[in-house]
Chain A
Amino acid sequence: MEKSEQNLYEIFGEVIAEQDFLKAFLITSALAFLLYFSAPQIVRMMGREDLLNALRVTLSALGAFLGFIVSTVIIEPKRVVEEE
């Protein structure tokens, strides 16, 4: 069975590692808020400042989703799968 250098915890039937969760959380939140706060510049560049509120939320959700992809690539799932 695999071992990890990190502290492992069980949450909702899943095993997660402390540092990996922190890493994923920082990546997703940073990207979400980065796009949220850069929305005014982006709408100005597009010349559509009326869309600010709409784009703010969409862009931050997009940021969080990008964060999900990045964290999925860099973090190893804590599961050992065995086929019968």
Chain B
Amino acid sequence: MELASLLIQATLLTMFSVFLYVIIGMIPGTDETATIAPITLAFLTAGFDPLLILAWFMGTIVAFKAADAVPTALAAIPGGVMAVPQVPDALVARKYGYSEILLRKGITASVIGTVVAIAITLPLSFYLAPLGELLKNSAGPLNWPGWVYLIVAGTLLLAIMSKAKILALLSIFPFAMLVQGLRGLYGHSAFISIFLAITIGPILYELLTLISPNNHHLRRSDYARIKLVKTRKISLNPLHHLTKAEVTLSSILAGISGILATFMSPVGLTVLFGDLIKESQKDELKGSLMAYAVRDAIKNATYIGGTLIPLIALGVPTGPMSAGPAHPFFAELASFGGLTPRDVLLQRYSTSTIMLVTIYATLFAALLAYTILIKYSKQLTLFVFRKVPAEALYATFLAIVLVLAYNDAGVAGIFGSILVGLISATFVRNGVSIGILFMVLVAAPYLVGLLF
């Protein structure tokens, strides 16, 4: 495919994904994996060009991560799971009447995080490519391929860092057995239905609770009340929105987090660095504004680095991002003759084409999302809160998951998904990071092999 045609298609796809995901990002409670992975998977399973889908994916994560902090700043309601650590900062800003300033800082910092991450992690991933071959050969005491040691080490690290350490460690083998057990029943190495079941698990659990007679604690008598702060016309110049210290810290920490996200959890890094910044400041307001901006930069950077380094350099999903939202690129799909979209991407295109299209799509998405959010954040938030019902969004993702589960393993795939979803949700609701479950899914055959 000619470069010009690729760039035109990437432009259209990026525009579509930015508009769509700015809106989805603003809807409270939208989980990143549940809203991005099923659609990425649907596109790839349908055999669309992997480079174009990568461009679409980059546009999506840039817009989604920038947008999910908007309701956080304007209404102290997190747009998504990654924005939850920003709520306390938003409340401090609101107390001092700084909500609008906070909004601009967050959107600008997310653009900085995007630019820094793409500039550092994309060239680095090509530079690290020789490591990929090393990771694929079997070696070591357990005769596992190198990447399996990495993913198991990452799982253990994530488990030790999570809120429920013991439960997280305890979840590893039973969950691996569940996955392998279902694969045995299906008669083939099903992946998609189990993967989607983990992503949709928490939503599925809550929805099934509604059918239970014990649902009274979820009952409400009134509609949700949302208070939006006043905003004025906002300057488009990004230099007006951040202090020098905020720009420096956002850039440095975005660069470091983008690389660390190869193995580490994006939410974990957002919490860790944001809290360190906040605690280093004596002034409550200054600390919160800084932490909010830095967290926004880290969010975008971890999503970009956590996708690109494993995708291009390693070829195997080594961290929570690549084993989660970006996993469809690593799945062996019938539409690519049993190859993974990642392999097809690297075989079909030269390094320079991949770099050019990816950088173009990411920066174009950042510019578009920045302009839309800075100019129309208030109107968009009002539109989303007034017009888009949560019922429609939850139902849509559930329908996509059901149909893909059916496509993967028939009616048994649907029941299997309910089973995996409920068990995953039970672990996640009790403090186990969802990233652990994704990584266990990827390493399941090797982990279960240890038991027999």
Contact = CB atoms under 8 A, between A and B. Distances in A.
B386 interface: yes
A1 B335 contact: no
Contact of B394 (A21, A23, A55, A57): A21
A19 to B, nearest CB: 9
Interface in B25-39: 27-29, 38-39
B411 to A, nearest CB: 12
Contacts of B39: 61
A21 B208 CA distance: 12
A68 B225 contact: no
B382 interface: yes
Interface string A35-62: 0100000000000000101111110110
A65 B38 CA distance: 12
A15 to B, nearest CB: 4
A71 B392 contact: yes
Interface in A5-28: 7-18, 20-21, 23-25, 27-28
A78 B226 CA distance: 10
A7 B392 contact: no
A18 to B, nearest CB: 6
B227 interface: yes
A57 B46 contact: yes
The listed residue with most A CB atoms (<10 A of its CB), out of B27, B334, B400, is B400
A83 B222 contact: no
B400 A14 contact: no
Nearest to B97: A84
B398 A80 contact: no
Interface in B200-230: 202-203, 206-207, 210, 215, 218-230
Do most interface residues of chain B lie in helix, strand or loop, or is the interface mixed? helix
Interface stretch (B127-135, B159-167, B178-186, B402-410): B402-410
Contacts of A57: 42, 45-46, 403-404, 407
A9 B208 CA distance: 12
Given A9-B219, A28-B398, A71-B395, A55 B46 contact: yes
A68 B396 contact: yes
B78 interface: yes
A42 B227 CA distance: 48
Given A12-B206, A32-B400, A20 B223 contact: no
A73 B396 CA distance: 14
B391 interface: yes
A9 B228 CA distance: 22
A83 B227 CA distance: 6
B220 A8 contact: yes
B334 to A, nearest CB: 6
Contacts of B385: 77, 79, 81
Contacts of A78: 223-224, 389-390
Contact of A81 (B43, B202, B226): B226
Contact of A21 (B77, B391, B402, B404): B391
B276 interface: no
Contacts of B334: 53
B230 A83 contact: yes
A77 B38 CA distance: 24
A71 B407 CA distance: 24
Nearest to B192: A57
Contacts of B272: none
The listed residue with most B CB atoms (<10 A of its CB), out of A9, A20, A51, A67, is A9
The 9 A-B residue pairs with the shortest CB-CB distance in the complex, in nearest-first order: A12-B29, A24-B395, A71-B392, A28-B399, A14-B390, A61-B42, A68-B396, A58-B46, A54-B46
Given A9-B219, A68-B396, A78-B224, 20 more contacts: A11-B218, A12-B29, A12-B206, A13-B28, A14-B224, A14-B390, A17-B391, A18-B210, A24-B396, A28-B398, A53-B46, A57-B45, A58-B46, A60-B403, A60-B407, A71-B391, A71-B396, A81-B386, A84-B228, A84-B230
Interface of B: 27-29, 38-39, 42-43, 45-47, 77-78, 202-203, 206-207, 210, 215, 218-230, 334-335, 382, 385-396, 398-400, 402-404, 406-407
12 contacts: A1-B223, A8-B220, A8-B221, A10-B220, A10-B224, A13-B77, A61-B46, A71-B391, A72-B392, A77-B390, A81-B382, A82-B227
